[in-house]
Amino acid sequence: MESTDLKQREIVIRRGLADRIFRRAMATGAILSLSLLALIASFLLFRGFEVFRDFGFSFITSAKWDSGSADGVTPASFGIAAMLVGSVVTAIIAITVALPFAICVALFLEYYAPSFIRKPLTAVLDLVAAIPSVIYGIWGYTILNNLAAGWAKSLNSWFDWIWFFKVPAPIFTRSPFIAGLLLALMILPITTSVAREVYSQAPRDQIDAAYGLGGTKWGAIRSVVMPFGRSGLVGGAMLGLGRALGETVAVYLVLNLVFKINLQILASAGGNVASLIATRFSEATPYELKGLMAAGLVLFLVTLAVNATATLIVNRARNTA
């Protein structure tokens, strides 16, 4: 019995009509939601194109935002440099404050908390992540603003030899510092949850090996857990950064919108692109509205770039674990 012509049968998938329609329908839906991003970008570009054409590169580099007078004596002039710098400054303050806390909270929940309070605390953390931004805003406006103005005053009196802690006038409310603190609070849950996820995947055997060598808990965390979670942590921080860059209402309520590039974080002047749009929208002239669309496009592209990078990093950290 010799069968020399044994060949593997070719696998052919013949899908029925129902399946073909089903797969086509699902693909259409998915591509529809996929194309939303492209749609957003193209419509904002379409509406804001005129402003990009009129102002060119100075739209990014100029700090002057003036809708012009109705009779046309003072021409309109649009530039978002001050707002872009403001966005970046507040977001950097936010992530600088939030990151150490995120690391500590994540380590506490994963390695220090007694097991019986871990679950409820995680649930509370998920819950505060869902606090709407307008509630952060009203709290920041009434409570944090006055509280943090006092802290800003102390910072200023101790550290005014550092240039960015100087102020032109002793007014400490509604500053980028306060907006940054509020944003830090808002992005803490998301950064913490990413940090917690990567820390929880640290290899148990290596931690036990660290203990076995006579190491302390902190020793195990510093030599095993933290290096393992570093890249995921960077991703989590960038996710937080993206959120902080695009926040509107909370920043609108606690920050004094001034069209001047301001790096003195304790001074009562600043802004961000999102709150510029919210502030100017209701009374904008048609031409200014196009400027706002252009500003929206810039904001969209910046946050999308930050978020896409963060997503890549976080996904890689998730998969290698």
Candidate list 91, 99, 221, 269; residue touching other proteins; CB under 8 A: 221
Phi-psi sector, 72: left (phi>0), alpha (psi -120 to 50), beta: left
- Cβ proximity to other proteins, 67 vs 307, nearer residue: 307
Q: Choose one: 62-70, 88-96, 126-134, 225-233; the region binding other proteins (CB under 8 A).
A: 126-134
- Cβ proximity to other proteins, 69 vs 154, nearer residue: 154
**What is the Cα gyration radius of the chain?**
26
Under rule CB under 8 A, residue 209 binds other proteins: no
d(Cα 312, Cα 23) in Å, to the nearest integer?
A: 27
- Cβ proximity to other proteins, 82 vs 105, nearer residue: 105
74: Cβ–Cβ under 8 A, 6 or more apart, which residues? 66, 68
Report residue 174: phi and psi, to 5°.
Answer: 50, 45
Candidate list 82, 95, 105, 183; residue touching other proteins; CB under 8 A: 105
- Cα distances from 300 to residues 239, 258, 266, 308, in angstroms, run 14, 22, 27, 12
Under rule CB under 8 A, residue 208 binds other proteins: no
- Cβ proximity to other proteins, 132 vs 203, nearer residue: 132
Q: What is the number of other CB atoms lying within 10 angstroms of the CB of residue 172? A: 23
Candidate list 126, 146, 159, 160; residue touching other proteins; CB under 8 A: 126
- Cβ proximity to other proteins, 60 vs 304, nearer residue: 304
d(Cα 308, Cα 161) in Å, to the nearest integer?
A: 38
Residue type, 241: L
Rounded to the nearest whole angstrom, what is the least distance from the CB of residue 60 to other proteins in the complex?
A: 17
Candidate list 249, 258, 261, 321; residue touching other proteins; CB under 8 A: 249
d(Cα 194, Cα 191) in Å, to the nearest integer?
A: 5
Residues 70-99 that bind other proteins (CB under 8 A): none
Going residue by residue from 253 to 282, which x/- string records binding to other proteins, judged by CB under 8 A? x--------------------x--xx--xx
- Cβ proximity to other proteins, 148 vs 266, nearer residue: 148
Under rule CB under 8 A, residue 19 binds other proteins: yes
- # chain residues binding other proteins, by CB under 8 A: 93
- Cβ proximity to other proteins, 4 vs 28, nearer residue: 28
Under rule CB under 8 A, residue 246 binds other proteins: yes
Question: Which token pair is 204?
Answer: 């148990």
Report residue 66: phi and psi, to 5°.
Answer: -140, 120
Q: Choose one: 52-60, 160-168, 240-248, 256-264; the region binding other proteins (CB under 8 A).
A: 240-248
Rounded to the nearest whole angstrom, what is the least distance from the CB of residue 154 to other proteins in the complex?
A: 8
Under rule CB under 8 A, residue 303 binds other proteins: yes
Q: What is the number of other CB atoms lying within 10 angstroms of the CB of residue 205? A: 9
Q: 176 and 90 in contact (C-beta within 8 Å)? A: yes
Q: Which of 228, 230, 225, 273 is nearest to 252 (CA)?
A: 273
Residues 41-60 that bind other proteins (CB under 8 A): 43-44, 46-47
151: Cβ–Cβ under 8 A, 6 or more apart, which residues? none
Q: Token pair 């804001």 is at which residue?
A: 48
Under rule CB under 8 A, residue 219 binds other proteins: yes
